[in-house]
Amino acid sequence: MRGPTLRVGRRDGAGNPVCPGPFGHQNGSLDSKNPDIHCEAVLAAGNWEVDAAWPHVVALVTSEETDKALLLAAIEAVASIRPHEAAEILDDLADSDDEDIVAAVHEAMAMTEGPAGEDDDSNDDDDSLH
């Protein structure tokens, strides 16, 4: 059986979903009381790099009240939505006593790096002295 899906009606010229207002709030997905729908909406926001979901996702990551499944989804989404800000947001969770959370943070941080562990700001073709 397939899990819940997030439906997006309108799309922009590039085929990306367009939602009026903050992502998911029109249909209530990010505010859903159903944990499965909420989790799927957070994952979708990360997959689509929806910047409007950033405050909601950061709130989930920084709250001590967020359940584990939703926290793991939010950790992944943080790294996708704003990769250059992920380290600062996820830093405290890297010291968690929960191995799954630490692993998710390490995976998220790896996602923010370029190939071979280099960040996006590196330029291998630059022969100038630094």
Measured CA to CA, the distance from residue 66 to residue 63 in angstroms comes to 6
Measured CA to CA, the distance from residue 38 to residue 29 in angstroms comes to 6
pTM beyond 0.85: the answer is no
Give the angle 9-36-24 at the CA atoms, nearest 5°: 30
- For 83-109, what is the mean pLDDT? 96
Q: Say whether 97 sits in a helix, a strand or coil.
A: coil
Tell me what pLDDT residue 66 has.
96
Measured CA to CA, the distance from residue 20 to residue 35 in angstroms comes to 23
pLDDT tens track for 52-76: 999 999 999 999 999 999 999 999 9
pLDDT of 17 higher than 80? no
Tell me what pLDDT residue 116 has.
57
Tell me what pLDDT residue 106 has.
97
